[in-house]
């Protein structure tokens, strides 16, 4: 291994900088502690019910408002699990709206570009045109040969859509049983007001692979595997041979149906002298191992009470998991988000979007390349591993998995998921 972690500093009293958390995250979250079933990861029947009970009833992340910079901006979001192509627009009045991207004439997909700006959206099959307010049908070529068409009722079919802190969510219930604010619950209030920055530039890493969507979500929900699965890419910055050998979280809590953990990190990490390239491109003011921006911006994030709630000085990042399939992660140097989209019980499409500052110099660009490369390598380690787990679970050798306290978020997700599968009313699934 190349990179080193500097020696544990001790205060005058001789106490180590990092004190292992004494509390039990699992019990504090009100969760049981027994083994959990692996059926949710390998059962095609469970997957079909998950589609109906979870994905067609929950509020789902669909994009960021920066994707709609002006009025008449639009983007299309394919949500395979709900078999939907979703057109998301910003109206003249500035309202963010979502529609099924499906023509009222004979069902063609209307918009076939991923994003852009347009006042009217024209279906290319017979040129029916939509736009204006609320996806109205504006025009039908050769209308006089249709029979009693009522243009007013033939607009694009709306999808419930709302925005929280710049994150756009959609809901596939015709009349959502709960609002986005109710769905986000205590998470939405606790994590409100975080000063996001650098949202216009991104590194995007994607993978389409053979494993259940929850396996990759689980991989980002616990740091226990960091020293073993990511020994060179992450362990030097996120674990410590003496101080925190198993990368135990600094905190891990449930927020209603959502959850977070705070990851340990060595704030004084520096590349090893033998890591010549990492040293060459590594500049403190562009962030740490997983950071990309100046500390001034990061300070505003770190000061927020939701972030690193115990205000532990050895903090590196907060992972927040918004049920069911979305993560917003906050680090000393910036943000990244994960979307874990189910395709089949054993297939997932994952998108990781890492927000970065605009390239400022040659050296900065080299640092960003190193940052992207390290991330891709971390992702490769996790994806390869998830495909192996899927094989292991499908073998039928094990019916249960055993979770430790640092894996609380996985247990909490399965517990919430079970409620959604059982509850006939969404309100009951939120309790």
Partner 1 sequence: MSAVTDKATSLPAGFEALEAFVPYWVHETNDKRREARSTAQMEDIQAFYDTVVPMAEQGIAYLEQYELGKMPADAERLFKLLLAMNHAAIAVEMHGAPRAFDSTWPSAVRITQGPWPHGGRI
Q: Which residues bind Fe ion (CB under 5 A)?
A: 219, 382
Instruction: State the nearest-atom distance from the C-beta of 129 to ligand FES, in Å.
Output: 9
The binder of 426, among ligand FES, Fe ion, partner 1, none, by C-beta within 5 to 8 A per type, is none
Which residues pair with residue 259 across a beta bridge?
A: 254, 321
d(CA 384, CA 389): 9
Closer residue to ligand FES, CB minimum distance, 128 or 335: 128
The pair of structure tokens assigned to 204 is 């995007």
What tokens does 61 get?
């992340």
Q: Site mask, partner 1, residues 105-124, x = CB under 8 A? A: --------------------
User: In this structure, are residues 136 and 155 in contact, taking their beta carbons and an 8 Å threshold?
Assistant: yes
Min dist CB 195 to Fe ion, Å, is 27
Q: Which does 219 bind (CB under 5 to 8 A by kind): ligand FES, Fe ion, partner 1, none?
A: Fe ion
Distance between CA atoms of residues 150 and 267, nearest Å: 64
Site string for partner 1, 217-256 (x = CB under 8 A): --------------xxx-----------------------
Q: How far is CA 104 from CA 79, 151, 161, 175, 290, in A?
A: 20, 10, 20, 20, 47
Nearer to ligand FES, 106 or 245 (CB): 106
- In the complex, the residues that contact ligand FES under the rule CB under 6 A are 103, 105-106, 108, 123, 125-126, 128
Decide if 140 contacts 128 (C-beta within 8 A): yes
* Window contacting partner 1 (CB under 8 A); options: 82-90, 103-111, 139-147, 204-212: 204-212
CB-based contact 327:413 (threshold 8 Å): no
Site size for partner 1 (CB under 8 A)? 46
Exposed e or buried b per residue across 147-169, where buried means at least 16 C-beta atoms within 10 angstroms of its C-beta: eeeeeeebbbeebbbbbbeebbb
Between 109 and 272, CB nearer to partner 1: 272
Q: Which is nearer to ligand FES, 110 or 178 (CB)?
A: 110
Q: Which of 180, 205, 298, 416 binds partner 1 (CB under 8 A)?
A: 205
15: its two tokens: 């106490």
Closer by beta carbon to partner 1, 179 or else 206: 206
Tell me how far, at minimum, the Cβ of 427 lies from Fe ion, in Å.
35
Smallest distance, Å, CB 264 to partner 1? 20
Interface with partner 1, residue 33, by CB under 8 A = no
Backbone φ and ψ of 60, nearest 5°? -115, 135
Q: Which does residue 125 bind out of partner 1, Fe ion, ligand FES, none, counting CB within 5 to 8 angstroms by kind?
A: ligand FES
Residue 203 interacts with partner 1 (CB under 8 A)?
yes
- By CB atoms closer than 10 A (0-12, 13-18, 19+), residue 115 is middle
Residues 342-401 that bind partner 1 (CB under 8 A): 356, 358-359, 361-363, 365-366, 368-370, 372-374, 376-377, 379-381, 383-384, 387
Cα torsion at 185, 187, 190, 195 (round to 10°)? -120
Q: What is the distance between the alpha carbons of residues 369 and 259, in angstroms, rounded to a whole number? A: 31
Q: What is the 3-state secondary structure (H, E, C) of 171-197?
A: ECCCCCCCCHHHHHHHHHHHCCCCCCC
Which residues lie near partner 1 (CB under 8 A)? 1-3, 201-210, 231-233, 272, 274-278, 280-281, 356, 358-359, 361-363, 365-366, 368-370, 372-374, 376-377, 379-381, 383-384, 387
């Amino acid at each position: 291994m190349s990179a080193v972690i500097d020696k544990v500093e001790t205060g005058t009293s001789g106490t180590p900088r990092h004190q292992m958390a004494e509390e039990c995250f699992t019990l504090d979250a009100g969760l049981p502690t027994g083994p959990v079933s692996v059926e949710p990861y390998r059962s095609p029947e469970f997957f079909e019910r998950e589609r109906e009970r979870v994905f067609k009833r929950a509020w789902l992340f669909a994009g960021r408002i920066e994707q709609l910079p002006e009025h008449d901006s639009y983007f299309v979001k394919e949500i395979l699990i709900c078999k939907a192509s979703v057109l998301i627009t910003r109206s003249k009045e500035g309202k963010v709206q979502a529609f099924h991207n499906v023509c009222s004439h004979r069902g063609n997909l209307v918009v076939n570009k991923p994003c852009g700006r347009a006042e009217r959206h024209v279906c290319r099959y017979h040129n029916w045109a939509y736009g204006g307010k609320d996806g109205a049908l504006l025009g039908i070529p050769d209308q006089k040969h249709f029979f009693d068409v009522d243009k007013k009722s033939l607009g694009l079919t709306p999808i419930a859509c709302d925005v929280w802190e710049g994150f756009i969510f959609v809901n596939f219930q015709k009349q959502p049983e709960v609002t986005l604010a109710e769905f986000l619950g205590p998470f939405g209030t606790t994590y409100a007001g975080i000063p996001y920055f650098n949202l216009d530039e991104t590194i995007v890493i994607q993978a389409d692979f053979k494993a259940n969507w929850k396996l990759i979500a689980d991989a980002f929900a616990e740091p226990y595997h960091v020293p073993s699965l990511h020994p060179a890419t992450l362990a030097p910055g996120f674990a410590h041979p003496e101080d925190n050998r198993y990368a135990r979280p600094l905190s891990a809590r449930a927020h209603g149906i959502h959850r977070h953990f705070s990851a340990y990190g060595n704030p004084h990490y520096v590349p090893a002298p033998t890591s010549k390239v990492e040293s060459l491109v590594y500049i403190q003011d562009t962030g740490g191992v997983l950071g990309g921006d100046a500390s001034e911006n990061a300070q505003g994030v770190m000061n927020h009470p939701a972030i690193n709630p115990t205000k532990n000085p050895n903090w590196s990042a907060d992972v927040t998991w918004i049920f069911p399939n979305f993560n917003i992660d906050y680090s000393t140097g910036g943000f990244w988000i994960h979307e874990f989209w189910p395709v089949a019980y054993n297939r997932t499409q994952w998108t990781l979007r890492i927000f970065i500052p605009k390239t400022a110099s040659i050296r900065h660009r080299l640092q960003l390349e190193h940052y992207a490369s390290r991330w891709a390598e971390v992702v490769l380690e996790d994806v390869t591993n998830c495909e192996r787990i899927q094989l292991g679970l499908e073998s039928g050798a094990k019916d249960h998995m055993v979770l430790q306290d640092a894996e609380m978020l996985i247990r909490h997700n399965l517990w919430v998921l079970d409620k959604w599968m059982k509850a006939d009313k969404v309100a009951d699934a939120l309790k």
